Amino acid sequence: MRRAMTLIELTVVIVIILSLISILFVGSRAWKRGSDRAGCVLTLRNMQVATRSYQNLYGYNYGGHPYAEYGTQHITQHLWQKGYIEKSLFDQAVGLKSCPGGGNYTCAVPDVFPQPGHLFLECSLSGSDDHLPNSYSDW
């Protein structure tokens, strides 16, 4: 006597496989969003730490302007020229590269050191995709 799968058994197996695949896609999408957020927060942190380090090392006050070096007072340009940040972070900070989630980084006043509690760089997705860190007061 030959034993084969019935149409109902085959349908159940296909439904189970499709359900597992859909769960995999939902999980991977959530992982990707979390990874994008982490990359964005890391970029914001690195830029903030570099800006504060530069400000403290050269004795600039909050709300102050840096001296004109390299033909500009643009803080990001100074950070890159003096080796505080790498080219990829510089490209993100000046808008040549986007956030890992697809947003754009902006700096409200690129030639003024931010007040305590304010970020030097902000992501355009900070309100919608939670690309803003929970706390950044100690950066």
Distances in Å between the Cα of 131 and the Cα atoms of 54, 60, 75 are 25, 29, 23
- Percentage of the chain beyond pLDDT 90 is 42
Does residue 1 carry a pLDDT above 70? no
Going from N- to C-terminal start, the domains of the chain cover 38-123
C-beta neighbour count of 85 within 10 angstroms: 22
Q: Is residue 139 pLDDT above 80, yes or no?
A: no
Q: Is residue 41 scored above 80 in pLDDT?
A: yes
Entry field: residues in the chain: 139
* pLDDT for the residue 129: 62
The backbone torsions φ and ψ at residue 69, rounded to the nearest 5 degrees and listed phi first, read -130, 150
Query: Given CA atoms 118, 40, 99, 81 in this order, what sign does their dihedral have?
Result: positive
Q: pLDDT at residue 14 above 70?
A: yes
User: What value does the mean pLDDT take over residues 108-133?
Assistant: 84
Place of tokens 């033909």: 71
Q: Which two tokens stand for residue 36?
A: 């994008």
Kindly report whether the global pTM for this prediction surpasses the value 0.85. Answer: no
Calculate mean pLDDT across residues 24-52. 90
pLDDT at 125: 87
Mean pLDDT across the stretch 91-115?
90
